[in-house]
Amino acid sequence: MKTLTMVAAVAALVLSAGAAQAFQCPKLITQGREAAAKMDATDAKVKGALAQLDQAEALHKQAKHADAVKTANEALAALGVAK
């Protein structure tokens, strides 16, 4: 009985962590796009960050939320956006 309870608790934790990341992706992507909109669109750094944000959005749509969050955070760092 103890083992079953522990397995259920771990499963619930894993599932809730995935759901939390799913909601974080769009927020990070929007934050990056808003920051980029205030910058020089011809700057190579901005273009690269926008490409990363596009990639993060595609990953989010594929339900690869951990990768999407990582990619969006890299774009934010390239833009110099504080988290």
Residue identified by tokens 């934790």 is 13
pLDDT band, residue 3 (cuts 50/70/90): low
Mean pLDDT of the region 1-6: 54
pLDDT at 82: 85
Higher-confidence residue: 15 or 63?
Answer: 63
**Six-digit token string for 74:** 């890299």
Q: What is the pLDDT of residues 19-61, one digit of tens each?
A: 556 789 999 999 999 999 999 999 999 999 999 999 999 999 9
pLDDT at 10: 45
Q: Is 61:71 a contact under the CB 8 Å cutoff?
A: no
pLDDT band, residue 5 (cuts 50/70/90): low
Cα 20–chain centre separation:
10
Q: Is 81:32 a contact under the CB 8 Å cutoff?
A: yes
Residue identified by tokens 């960050």 is 49
DSSP letter, residue 62:
T
Dihedral sign for Cα 45, 66, 26, 59, please: positive
